Amino acid sequence: MQSIRKEIYIMTRIQDTVEAVAAAIIEQKDYLTALDAEIGDGDHGLNMARGFEAVREAMDEMGDESRPGPVFKAIGEALLENVGGAAGPLYATGFLKAAEACDDHTNFSTVNVEKVLGAAIEGIQARGHAVHGEKTMLDVLIPIHACFRPENVGDKTLFQCLAAASQAARDGVAYTKTIPATKGRASYVGERSIVHEDPGADSSMIMYRAMYSYLKK
C-alpha cells in the first residue's frame, strides 16, 4: 500500500519534476559547454539549455498533466524543435519513444521505469547507431536502466532502485573518461578523447540526478 501511495504521489509531481530537471540543465549550461569544447563543438550546454527553456514553455502550455505519456511527448517535441547538434535528435527520440511506451494507466513503478527507459534507449540506439562503451550518453542511460531490470530489482523498493541508478549514472560518466570516442564530433580526436568526460553522458547524469533529488525530498 505504501508503494502505491508513493507511485501516485510521484505522478502528481511529474511536471514539477520536469521543472527541476530543466533548472539543473540550464544551471549547468556553462559546465556542459566547457566539457564539449574539449572534445566537440563546444555547444552542448548552450543547445541543451535552449531546449529545456522550450520544455518549460511546453509544460506551461499543456496545463496540469499527471500522465507521463503526454509529458514525455511534449518534452520530445520541444527538444526536437529547439536543440541543435547531435544530442537534440537523440534526446528527442528518447522522449518520444518513452511516450509511445506509456498508456493512460502507466505509473511510476520499477516495472514501468524499466519498460519506458528501455524503449527510450532502443530509440536512441537506432537513431545514433551506438552501443554501450562508445563514449556517449548510452554509457549512463544503459547502466541506469540496468538498475530497474527484474534480475537487479529483487526485493528493492522503488526508491532503493532510484538511488542505485543515481550512483550508476555517476559511475557511467566516470567510465567515459577511460575510453576513446567512436561516435560524433569527439571521434575526430580519437584516443585524445580519453581522460575527458562525454558531455552527453554528463547531461544524462544531470537530468537523472535532478529528477532523483527532487523526488526523494
Topology of domain 2-215 in CATH is: 1.25.40
The mean pLDDT of the chain is: 92
**Residue 121: in which H helix or E strand, if any?**
helix 110-128
The residues spanned by each domain of the chain are 2-215
Residue 81 — pLDDT band, cuts 50, 70, 90? Answer: very high
Check residue 23 and give its pLDDT.
98
Residues 20-48 have pLDDT tens digits of 999 999 999 999 999 999 988 899 999 99
In whole angstroms, give the CA distance from residue 47 to residue 140: 19
In whole angstroms, give the CA distance from residue 60 to residue 156: 35
Check residue 211 and give its pLDDT.
96
Q: Which pTM does this prediction carry?
A: 0.92
Q: Collect contacts of 155-158 with beta carbons under 8 A, ≥24 apart.
A: 156/110, 157/3, 158/3, 158/6, 158/7, 158/108, 158/109, 158/110, 158/113
- As a whole-number percent, the residues of the chain with pLDDT over 90 amount to 77
